[in-house]
Structure formats: structure tokens, C-alpha cells
Amino acid sequence: MLEGIMLGLETAFSLQNLFLVVFGCLIGTLIGMLPGLGPMSIIAIMIPVAINIGDPSAALILLAGVYYGAIFGGSTSSILINAPGVAGTVATAFDGYPMARQGKAGKALTIAAISSFCGGTVGAILLLFFAPALSSVALLFHSAEYFALMVVGLSAIAAFAGSGKVAKALMMTIAGLMLATVGESALFNAPRFTMGLSDLQSGFSFVTLAMALFALPEALFLVLNPNKSNTSANNQAIKDLRITKEEAKKIAPVIARQSIQGFLIGVMPGAGATIASFLGYAVERNIAKGAEQEEFGKGSIKGLAAPEAANNAACTGSFVPLLTLGIPGSGTTAILLGALVALNVNPGPRLMIDNPSIFWAVIISMYIGNVVLLILNLPMIPYIAKLLTIPRNYLIPFILFFTMIGAYIGQNNATELLILIGLGIGATLLRFADYPLPPLLIGFILGGMMENNFARAVNLTDGAAFMYERPMTLGLLLVGVLLIVIPIFRKYRLKTNSINVADGD
Amino acid sequence: MTLDKCIAVLFLTVSIVYGYASYTYPLLPFELNMVFLPNTMPLALSVLGILISSIIILSKKQVPAESLTDGDIDFSRLRDYNWGQALGLLIAMTLYAVLLRPLGFIPSTVAFLVGCGWILGERRLHIMLASSLIGAGTIWYLVQEVLGIFLKPLPWFMG
């Protein structure tokens, strides 16, 4: 192994490859900031450039840099304008955006950058040592376990079931699951619930829904409530960049836990950064106690650090099945697999033996990519955060423009914009009625995967008995149920306790 | 009836219609023999939807007052809200969606940005026009020329 690491270091530290990492990270960050262009599309766009380089390690190093950069860029738009362009950064917006509204945009970006760095670094180290061993664990996961894992991911909705909101959060989740059934599905033969509209054939697009639920109502509220834009973060966005010692102490264990958990989830093909971030958020919220738990969803630094560390670690984890088994665990790694095959490299168990320089160079360059990303981004944060100080009359039109163009670029379809406006008006009304919107998006993201895996498991085992016959499935399902029930129970007990105390007094 | 109950009633209606559509979903002959059907999950979801929305409609508990004001919405000051501006922006967005293709990306985007600025009270047209031109031009160059995603820049009569 040591020999391999040295070989990787030698390849990755060549001048050309270092330049490629920096270039990839820069391009990824800049384009990733545009909502609507996630890592998958950016990598797809960069493939011709990578193939032109000719050297497979250099190409993969460039693409890995783009991947990391795009994920960090995506977090930036989630934090600053509540417009998560990638499913993996939706959970970042839950606490990142409230922080930006409180005038802590700079701090939020710094926490995101540091958590991403730690997540990616821990991921790269774990990949270095455990990749071959973990690939066999990944194969133990079947569709039954994936279904159970999605249920655990859904438990993140519990975070939004605040006082008197349990039924509302559940209703929103069901609405999200219903929206996910529109259009064609991987397992069935005809589109469902399209109402004869060909534009709905492929279902609602994630970006359109995310923009309609998060960015558009937010921009409308900025316009509606004159006080909000006056007293908002505008004047103080760049104050308070540094993280205090206390804050660092608070988030350090969160980052450590979520880096490992995120990596392990990323290793399983199909799970990926999205589930890792939701799960990371749910777990950390459950671990947090008292006031800290209440703060989740209102600008908690733990709530921001958890999904950021988890999604970056998961991205690294998703390279395990790709490099060791040749199985792409996510859309992005599927595109990377395509690029590798085009470059005459066949990822799989023999990659380590046939092309050790590629295998190790990629792992080492991931680490370098993380360092480069941190060095590039930390000095840029004050300038990025300054975007919020643009006067309202200019900022709002541009937020609306980015929201709309994000939905348009992905589909190249103007009807998508009308759907965005319609859903956006609906989402604004829901916010007026105090319905939490994140559960809707979580339901939508996980719904399709959940149904497919459940259907596959049911068809394979001829019934739903797998839910209690497979110990791993049962265990995961129980964890999911506990993650939902415990916070509700805890809240209920607190309430009854306080009523009793009041009676006693 | 409060707004949240109205929405629950609407969701109940949607769930019933969705359930009916799932129940009458035309299954293909070979699908009839499958254990898990394309309408299995939709049917389950519609039942859950009907249950949950009924709970919200029937629950007597009022939403605690503090949760109405803790967020971004101040219900006591709804009349002071800029409803006109918000409506204007929504109309501008709809026009942009309809005109994006025929007018081309750059003219429609510039018109949209300047229009939105105007609705929000910006009267320094030269600054707004310059920033919109720079913004629209940069994004067009980035998307079409750098990334290669087709974005028709000019109106229909100019090719």
C-alpha cells in the first residue's frame, strides 16, 4: 500500500496535475454557484476537456476537482439566497440560510468551507486505507436495505415537526411523495398522473421544485415585508467571519461523526450525498440537547456543519464502488465511469493491479483538491458574502432571474418556468399558513428512490416479508421509526411536564 | 376557517382525486400479475393523505400564537405588506416565461431585470440597464459559449 501511496503522490504532485486540480476546483465552484447546474451537469460539460488531455489520471484529477468545487459552489447559493441547486445541499439551506438572514453569511460560508474540507479529507483518508475492504460491505446492501435507508433519510422531517406542526410536516411529506410519482418511473412502463401533459412526462424537475419551494417564496417575502429587507442581513453580511473557539468546540464532534457516517453512506451505491446530508442532519438534531436542538432550522451552526461534512465525505465515499467494483454509486460517478471507459481504463477489481498509478493518484488528488478548495475559498468568502449587500432593488430582480434561469437551463423548456411560478405561489401560500416546506422537498427527493427500491425488494421476495426477515432492513427501519418518534415523544413529555408544574404552582 | 384549514381541505380534495386516479389507473395485462403495481404506492399515499388532512381539519387545537409570529410573517401587519409589488413581480415573471423564447434570451432578460427594478422603485434606469446588460450578457456567454448549452440570444426575426 505504501508503495501505491508513493506512486500516487508522485503522479498527483506533477505540475500539470496540480494545475488541473486548481483549475477544476475554480471552474466547479464558479459554475456550481449557479442554481440549476449541479456537479453532474458540470462534469458532463467538462468531459470533452478531460478526454482531450489524454492522460487518464490527469483527466480524473481534473474531474474530481470539478466535483468538489461544484458541491462547495452549490452550498454557497443555498446559504446566500436559499436556492439549493443540488439535492445534496438542500439540508445546508435549512440552517445556512437563516444564519445568512441573521447577518452571519460570512460565518456560515466559513463553517461550510471548513466542514466540507474536513468531510472531504476524512473521506479521502478512509478511502486510502479502507477502499478495498469496504467494497465488499457495499455489496451486502440490497434493494430491501436501500428502501430502509430511504426511510431513515425521511426521518429528517422530524426536525421540522415543531410545536403543533407534526401533522402539517407529515402532510407536506406526503405531498412531496405524491409529486414524486408524477411522470415516468424506472420500473414501470407508462407515465403516471401526467394529466395528458407531455411536459410532465419526465415528472417535476428537482431544480424547479427546489427553486419554487425555497428561493421564490423567500424573494417574494423580501418584497412583501418592507421591514424584512431593511433590517435584514444587508448591512452586516460580512461582519463576524471568524469562528470562535467555543463554536469550533461545538462543531468539531459533529464534523468528526458526520464525516465518518457520510463516508459510509456514500460507499453504498445509490445512497449518495443527498441521503448522507439528510441523515446527518437528522442524527445531529437528535443528539443535540435542549436549547441546541430547538435552534435547528433557525440558524444552528451544528445544523449547518453536519450536512456539509456528510455530503462531502459521501462524495468521496462514492468513489469506493466506482474504483474498486466499477459500479457507479450516483449520477455523477456514472458520468465519471463513462469518461474512464472513454479513456480506455476499466474501473473494477483489477484497476488497482493494472493501473495502480490512476487508482492512487485519484485518491491523493482528492486530498489535494480539498486543500486547494479551502485555500481558494477562505479568502473569497468576504467577497462572496458581500453579494448580500447589493441594494434590494438590484438584488431581488437578480435572485428571481437566477431562480428562473436555473430551472430553464436544465430542461430548456419554457413551460418549466410557468410550473415554477405556479408552484412558487402555492409554496408562498403554504408558508403563510405555517406549513413547513422542507419535508415536501425531502419527500420528493426520496420518494422515487424509495418506491423503486421497495418495488424491487417486493418483486424479488414475492411479498413485503423482507421488512422483518432481513435483520439489516429491520434494524434500519427501527432506527428510522425511532428517529421520528423520539423527538415527538420528548416534546410531548416536556409539554405535559410544564403543564403539571404550572398546576402545582 | 383559517388559511391552514383551507389548505388542508384542498389537500383532502387533491388526495381523493389522486386516490381515484390511482384506483382507476389503467394497468397493462402483464402488470396485473406483478406483486407491486404502479398504483400500489399512490393508493397508499392517497389513504395517508386523506387521513392526515382530516386530522388537521378536525383538530380543534389552534396554532399557538407565538409560532405565527416567530418566523418571517407578521400577521398583524399584513396590510402594510407590498402586495402590489409582489403581484407585479409575479406578472413580470410570467411574461418572462412566455416571451423568453420568441424575444430571445438577452432582450427578454434585460427587459425582465429592468422591469423588476422599476416595479421595486428603482428609477435610475441607466444603472439598471447597464447592470442588466452586463448580467444577461455574462450569463449568456457562460452558458452558451463556455458550457455549450443552447440559449437563443436574439429575437425570432434576427435569426
Measured in angstroms, the CA of A501 and the nearest CA of chain B are apart by 20
ipTM: 0.90
The one-letter code for the residue type at A479 is V
**Is the pLDDT assigned to residue B12 strictly greater than 90?**
yes
- In A22-45, which positions are buried (b, 16+ CB within 10 angstroms) versus exposed (e)? bbbbbbbbbbbbbbbbbbbbbbbb
Show residues of chain A in contact with B60, CB under 8 Å. Answer: none
**Is the pLDDT assigned to residue B63 strictly greater than 90?**
no
User: At B43, is the pLDDT very low, low, confident or very high (cuts 50, 70, 90)?
Assistant: very high
Integer Cα distance of A404 and A395 in angstroms? 14
pLDDT of residue A182: 92
pLDDT of residue A430: 92
Mutate: best of A188, A415, A453, partner B, most B CBs <10 A: A188
Integer Cα distance of B39 and B26 in angstroms? 9
Percent of chain B with pLDDT strictly greater than 70: 88
CA A5 to each of CA A13, A20, A362: distance values in angstroms, whole numbers, following the listed order = 12, 20, 10
Low-confidence ranges of chain A (pLDDT < 70): 1, 36, 132, 135-138, 158-164, 226-240, 269-271, 329, 498-505
pLDDT of residue A164: 64
The one-letter code for the residue type at A495 is K
Cross-chain residue pair B31–A455, CB shorter than 8 Å: no
- The pLDDT tens digits for A303-316 are 999 999 998 898 88
Q: SS3 for A164?
A: coil
Cross-chain residue pair B68–A164, CB shorter than 8 Å: no
Measured in angstroms, the CA of A448 and the nearest CA of chain B are apart by 10
**Is the pLDDT assigned to residue B157 strictly greater than 50?**
yes
Cross-chain residue pair A192–B39, CB shorter than 8 Å: yes
Of the candidates A300, A311, A317, A296, the residue with the CA atom closest to the CA atom of residue A251: A300
User: At B67, is the pLDDT very low, low, confident or very high (cuts 50, 70, 90)?
Assistant: very low
Mutate: best of A174, A227, A413, A431, partner B, most B CBs <10 A: A174
More confident residue, B47 or A446: B47
Q: What are phi and psi of A192, to 5 degrees?
A: -115, 150
Measured in angstroms, the CA of B92 and the nearest CA of chain A are apart by 10
Residue A452 makes CB contacts below 8 A (sequence gap 6+) with A143, A185, A186, A187
3-state helix, strand, coil in chain A (%, to 5): 80, 0, 20
Show residues of chain B in contact with A47, CB under 8 Å. Answer: none
pTM assigned to the model: 0.80
Integer Cα distance of A442 and A180 in angstroms? 10
User: At B69, is the pLDDT very low, low, confident or very high (cuts 50, 70, 90)?
Assistant: very low
pLDDT of residue A500: 57
CA A417 to each of CA A195, A208, A381, A414, B96: distance values in angstroms, whole numbers, following the listed order = 18, 8, 31, 5, 9
**Of B21, B38, B72, which has the smallest distance from its Cβ to A225's Cβ?**
B72
Cross-chain residue pair B64–A164, CB shorter than 8 Å: yes
**What is the mean pLDDT of the segment spanning B42-65?**
84
For A347, which DSSP code? -
Cross-chain residue pair B135–A398, CB shorter than 8 Å: yes
What DSSP letter does each residue of B78-102 carry, written as one string? GGGS-HHHHHHHHHHHHHHHHHHHH
pLDDT of residue B68: 46
Residues A248/A229, Cβ–Cβ less than 8 Å:
no
Which grid cell sits at B92? 413580470
User: At B53, is the pLDDT very low, low, confident or very high (cuts 50, 70, 90)?
Assistant: very high
